[in-house]
Amino acid sequence: MKSIYLIAPSGANIDPKSPEVGIAYLQSQGIEIANAQCVHRVQERFAGSDAERLNELNGLAKVDPKNLVMAMRGGYGIHRLLPDIDWNGIANAVKGGLQICGHSDFTVFELALLEKTGAVTLSGPMLNYDFGRFDENGKNLSPDPFMWRHFVSAVKDRKLDCQIQAPQSFLGEVAAGSITGLLWGGNLTVIASLVGTSYLPSSAQTKGGILFLEDVNEHPYRLERMMMQLVDAGILQNQSAILLGGFSSYRLYDNDKGYNLERAIEVIRSRLPKQIPILTDLPFGHQAEKLTLPVGAKATLEYSPTGFSIKASW
């Protein structure tokens, strides 16, 4: 990984120190940074005007494939741009070797590109949260070693290989198995917002797939409601397996009276065919410890009551 080309397609910076710290860290690893000026753009809550952000995305069609493209942060903003994105031009760049990485709001770009072209992208770290980190006292934090190791493996070797040891309580009727299918997914809120649109991969594309989900700042009842929407739309039962990553930064209330994330998952478990396992504790989401997952690649999942492994090459 010699060069990272930054893009800011969604929200503007919340902390102006974060991108500078992230850039400094990456440069300390011998990585050249291109298009760094994008981190300073601001218009309302967005990282620049719609036209600026759209032009930057469409410009990926001409970015040197030696670069890894990395989103600065998520938030919201790419939905505004979807009708005018040059999907085929960007897909041709990916086929020529360009790699593109991000998560959160970037899910909409990755899934729309997959739906329109079949191109593989990376659901993984972004500049601000993963490389421009601080502790509660404002001291710089080094990137998470797990995240960095799997990120480098994905970018340099185009490989995913991870074993997760964690008890599994929602497997259904099949206690252990091996599944190969299309790996796809991302932020649950974004995915739910795409149901019924032409930007969500079709049921034919994702049939028998391995769907991964994560979210942040969403109470378990909201998570249940969105997953129920995916059930009622026929999406979850079209998969071979569901992987649940981090669902972070929410708080429970007194009137929940024992209702929590586990209860929400139990309800979804009861609505799915019992041969489809739901696996938890995937290290992915709005958290420091995260995998880099190839959206649109074939992956192999092996699971048991004590954990699971996931492997892919692309």
Give me the CATH number covering residue 204: 3.50.30.60
pLDDT of residue 139: 86
R_g over Cα of the chain? 19
Choose the final residue of a domain: 120, 143, 166.
Answer: 143
What is the distance between the alpha carbons of residues 117 and 86, in angstroms, rounded to a whole number?
11
pLDDT of residue 185: 98
Provide the domain count of the chain: 2
Cβ–Cβ contacts within 10 Å for residue 281, how many?
16
pLDDT tens for residues 47-64?
A: 999 999 999 999 999 999
Instruction: Indicate whether 207 and 78 sit together in one domain.
Output: no
Residue 307 is assigned to a structural domain of this protein: yes
Whether the predicted pLDDT of 111 surpasses 90: yes
Share the mean pLDDT of the chain.
Answer: 97
Residue 107 is assigned to a structural domain of this protein: yes
pLDDT of residue 135: 82
Instruction: Indicate whether 168 and 299 sit together in one domain.
Output: yes
Of the residues 214, 218, 219, 240, only one is catalytic, namely: 214
Whether the predicted pLDDT of 1 surpasses 80: no
pLDDT tens for residues 156-198?
A: 999 999 999 999 999 999 999 999 999 999 999 999 999 999 9
What is the distance between the alpha carbons of residues 187 and 120, in angstroms, rounded to a whole number?
17
Instruction: Indicate whether 133 and 166 sit together in one domain.
Output: no
Choose the final residue of a domain: 115, 143, 171.
Answer: 143
Instruction: Indicate whether 15 and 130 sit together in one domain.
Output: yes
Range of the domain at 212: 158-313
pLDDT of residue 130: 97
Instruction: Indicate whether 171 and 139 sit together in one domain.
Output: no
Tell me if residue 247 falls in helix, strand or coil: strand
Whether the predicted pLDDT of 155 surpasses 90: yes
Instruction: Indicate whether 261 and 299 sit together in one domain.
Output: yes
> Is 79 marked active-site?
no
Question: Nearest to residue 68, comparing CAs of 102, 24, 26, 100?
Answer: 100
Tell me if residue 39 falls in helix, strand or coil: helix
Residue 43 is assigned to a structural domain of this protein: yes
What is the distance between the alpha carbons of residues 49 and 314, in angstroms, rounded to a whole number?
34
Token representation of residue 159: 């490989």
Question: Nearest to residue 308, comparing CAs of 287, 284, 285?
Answer: 284
pLDDT tens for residues 11-49?
A: 999 988 999 999 999 999 999 999 999 999 999 999 999
> Is 286 marked active-site?
yes
pLDDT tens for residues 237-288?
A: 999 999 999 999 999 999 999 999 999 999 999 999 999 999 999 999 999 9
> Is 40 marked active-site?
no
| φ/ψ of residue 212, rounded to 5 | -110, 145
Q: Within 13 Å of residue 199, how many CA atoms lie on the same side as its CB?
A: 21
Residues of the chain with pLDDT > 70: what percent?
Answer: 100
Of the residues 104, 218, 224, 240, only one is catalytic, namely: 104
pLDDT of residue 312: 98
Q: Within 13 Å of residue 292, how many CA atoms lie on the same side as its CB?
A: 31
pLDDT of residue 152: 97
pLDDT tens for residues 276-295?
A: 999 999 999 999 999 999 99
CATH of the domain at 112: 3.40.50.10740
Instruction: Indicate whether 94 and 183 sit together in one domain.
Output: no
Residue 106 sits at the vertex; the CA angle it makes with 105 and 111, to the nearest 5 degrees, is 110
Residue 279 is assigned to a structural domain of this protein: yes
pLDDT tens for residues 72-89?
A: 999 999 999 999 999 999
What is the distance between the alpha carbons of residues 63 and 61, in angstroms, rounded to a whole number?
6
pLDDT of residue 134: 84
Which residues sit opposite 300 in a β-bridge?
A: 180, 311
Contact 9/81 with Cβ under 8 angstroms?
yes
Cβ–Cβ contacts within 10 Å for residue 64, how many?
12
Residue 149 is assigned to a structural domain of this protein: no
Which residues sit opposite 34 in a β-bridge?
A: 5
What residues contact residue 234 under an 8 Å CB cut-off, 6+ apart? 203
Contact 97/271 with Cβ under 8 angstroms?
no
